[in-house]
Amino acid sequence: MKLLVIVPLCVLFTLTQQSAENCVCEFAQSEKSFPHDKLKTAQAAASDCNSNLTPQKTVELESLLLGLHHRLPQLEKDVSMLEKEDDGELYGVLSLYVIENEMTEIKQLMDKLNSTALERELLTADTTQRLQDLREEMQELETFDTMQVVKRQQANQRLRRDLEQCKNGLHPTQQPTKPPHGTCPYGQLLNITEPRVYTAGEYPGSYKYGAWGRDPKPEAGKESWHWLIMMTSSNRYAHYVRFYSTLSSLIIGVSVPGNILIHSSNPATNTIQGPNNVLYGGALYYNCYNKDAVCRFNLTTKSITTVELPKGTRYNSKGNFCHLDECYPYTDLDLATDESGVWVIYTTTQDFGNLVLSKVEEGEPPKLGQTWHTSVYKLAVTNTFMACGVLYATRYVSKEVEEIFYSFNTVTGKERFNIGIFIKKLAPNIEALNYSPVDQMLHAYCDSYMVSYKVLFELMDDQSWS
């Protein structure tokens, strides 16, 4: 692939002060090398603006400029990091991620500047357009598969630096806005992007079956944690959840805080059976070992409660997801999350193998809520997920393509068999698939790879930047 980068350079603003001093707006885009001199000029300009501020200027403006002044060296540092990771072909997705965050924060600062009456006159619309263009470029870059170039040492350095920043609390990252519980802020699902994350993680190629994701309703302080469950025994069972403090650490395989054990041995009572599990509200929901029931494992108290499924529910690999050539063993129960909480998708004898969908009420103890019966045959489905109260089912098209072909709307009861949205695969089989309502990402576990896609809806939240 050709080396095309694209380095974001800021920026910033044109200040026309009454004293006729001008701070210059700089924007640089480069095919290949990063224009450090231009960044320095922009930095100097920001610095000048800052020092030239007189006490008459608002305190707010001053602090915003100061903020901007601090962001620029950080951005330069991150861009140098990105350059170091260049192996002649691609840049590290991690650095892009970090730099995109930088851009987000700078954009936020710009927005604040814009929103004050004083700055409204000073910030040019042109700059806004350029930032918008940059954002699009960064998003494109994000889709590159760059795992070969992610070097552990550099990533570790970065993690340490991020940790320092967090400790110092200098640059708090804005939390994604959460849609109100039980309602869906989005319209129809329109499409799925190309893969946004693609990683072999910590155990490349070791476990074909598994699942990963993030808790949509995390406990305080665990907002950016990601979890991974691998079927470590016979492709069927798991007895622990592995945690990573951020997406970056999951990608480079640095697990802090490590494992939370459900049981010391495997398989045993309460073992996780099958890959389609979810984490929600600090608890893991999964198919309990050798049972037609959902287990809920409270990660804090380590206690387990179960939700019985209706009589006739197929379990122990008797109601699996399949395609023409293969069934995925022990995929009887598929747990799912969406904006309204936890769901379970399964099939029963009395439904003749068609998919059944039930809400899992998260109370104490958890209970089976409302249930819907569909007319789609589970053996013809490779996986399912929930988004905004709608059940979606996929089928295998080829090694490279999976199709979202079916939907069931729980609000209207309407079924559709003609969805026709295609998912680009980077490995032939999807063993687990789940939607994350926090960031509208679709997390897939594909033959030991962790892949994620952005779900595109009819109406997107304007504020979402990633």
Ligand X SMILES: *[C@@H]1O[C@H](CO)[C@@H](O)[C@H](O)[C@H]1NC(C)=O
Which spans of this chain sit near ligand X (rule: CB under 6 A)?
A: 111, 114, 120, 128, 191, 193-194, 281-283, 298, 300-301
Least gap, CB of 462 to ligand X (angstroms): 11
Distance CA(94)–CA(155), nearest Å, equals 8
Distance CA(313)–CA(316), nearest Å, equals 10
Least gap, CB of 60 to ligand X (angstroms): 15
Compare residues 281 and 369 and give the one whose CB is closer to ligand X: 281
Least gap, CB of 157 to ligand X (angstroms): 33
Helix (H), strand (E) counts: the chain: 7, 28
Please tell me the total number of residues recorded for the chain in this structure. Answer: 466
Compare residues 175 and 301 and give the one whose CB is closer to ligand X: 301
Compare residues 134 and 380 and give the one whose CB is closer to ligand X: 134
Distance CA(194)–CA(421), nearest Å, equals 12
Compare residues 44 and 419 and give the one whose CB is closer to ligand X: 419
Least gap, CB of 191 to ligand X (angstroms): 4
Q: What share of the chain is helix, strand, coil (3-state, %, to 5)?
A: 25, 30, 45
Compare residues 303 and 375 and give the one whose CB is closer to ligand X: 303
Compare residues 127 and 273 and give the one whose CB is closer to ligand X: 127
Least gap, CB of 114 to ligand X (angstroms): 4
Q: How close are the terminal C-alpha atoms of the chain, in Å? A: 24
Spatial CA neighbour of 187 closest among 443, 466, 390, 412: 390
Least gap, CB of 124 to ligand X (angstroms): 10
User: Which secondary-structure segment (H or E) carries 421?
Assistant: strand 421-424
Compare residues 299 and 380 and give the one whose CB is closer to ligand X: 299
Least gap, CB of 260 to ligand X (angstroms): 13
Provide φ and ψ at 459, rounded to 5°: -115, 115
| Contact predicate 319/330, CB 8 Å | no
Distance CA(162)–CA(255), nearest Å, equals 15
Spatial CA neighbour of 323 closest among 425, 207, 434: 425
